[in-house]
Amino acid sequence: MPADPFAELLLRLRSETGRTQEQQAAAINAVSGRDTLTRREINRYEHGENIPTSHTLSHIAVACGFSPEELQREAAGARARRRKVGRREGEDLDDVKRRTLLGGAILGAASAAEPWGRLAHALGTGAKIDSAAASSLPTQSTRPVSCRT
């Protein structure tokens, strides 16, 4: 996979300061006041595997003497490119709408069944059901349900 321009920018910023990845992590940790960034994470950033958070980006910018706004802009571009690559190839708008509709239907069915699942679990474990818990269960509709196609 070719390197992302943002990953190349991070590598160039580190190279211009003459730091190793370990020294870069230490410099960013010094700016942030926390010892959380490692050489391994710097490597992931420079290979385009991860994109730093906005908070970390500001620390990187200060540590490298670079404009925080420009670094944020470049990171936003990298995130957009990653989302675009992550989309399924050959997928059209109808596919997206269909997947969204089906996902919503599944969530709706799961949320409707959830109270009954809790009741079945409680009864299966021998727990007692009080009237407040029983009244929270949805009641069955008396109206017929019609499906239109």
Averaged pLDDT, 49-56: 93
If one counts the domains in the chain, the total is 1
Q: Show the domain range for 40.
A: 5-84
pLDDT tier at 133, thresholds 50, 70, 90? low
Question: Mind listing the pLDDT tens digit for each residue in 25-50?
Answer: 999 999 999 999 999 999 999 999 99
Q: Give pLDDT, residue 1.
A: 45
Mean pLDDT of 126-149: 62
Q: What is the pLDDT of residues 79-92, one digit of tens each?
A: 998 888 766 555 66
Whether residue 41 is contained in a domain is answered as yes
* CATH code of residue 76: 1.10.260.40
Cα torsion 69, 73, 74, 75 to 10°: value is 100
The confidence score (pLDDT) of residue 69 equals: 94
Domain for residue 64, yes or no?
yes
- Return the higher-pLDDT residue of 55 and 149: 55
Q: CA 37 to CA 40: how far, in whole Å? A: 8
53 assigned to some structural domain: yes
Confirm whether 140 is domain-assigned. no
Does residue 70 form part of some domain?
yes
Report which residue type is found at 109.
A
User: How many other β-carbons are positioned within 10 Å of the β-carbon of residue 76?
Assistant: 14
**Domain assignment present for 42:** yes
Assigned domain for 20 exists: yes
Asked whether residue 56 is assigned to any structural domain, the reply reads: yes
Mean pLDDT of all residues in 106-131: 68
Q: Is the separation of the CB atoms in 6 and 48 below 8 Å?
A: yes
Radius of gyration of the chain (CA): 26
* Residue 66 confidence (pLDDT) above 50: yes
Q: Do residues 11 and 27 lie in contact, with contact meaning Cβ atoms separated by under 8 Å?
A: no
Does the pLDDT value for residue 14 go beyond 60? yes
Look at residue 77 and tell me whether its pLDDT is greater than 50.
Answer: yes
The arithmetic mean of pLDDT across residues 113-128, rounded, is 68
At 62, list the tokens: 């200060």
Contacts of 6 (CB under 8 A, 6+ apart): 48, 51, 74, 75, 77, 78
Q: What is the pTM of this model?
A: 0.56
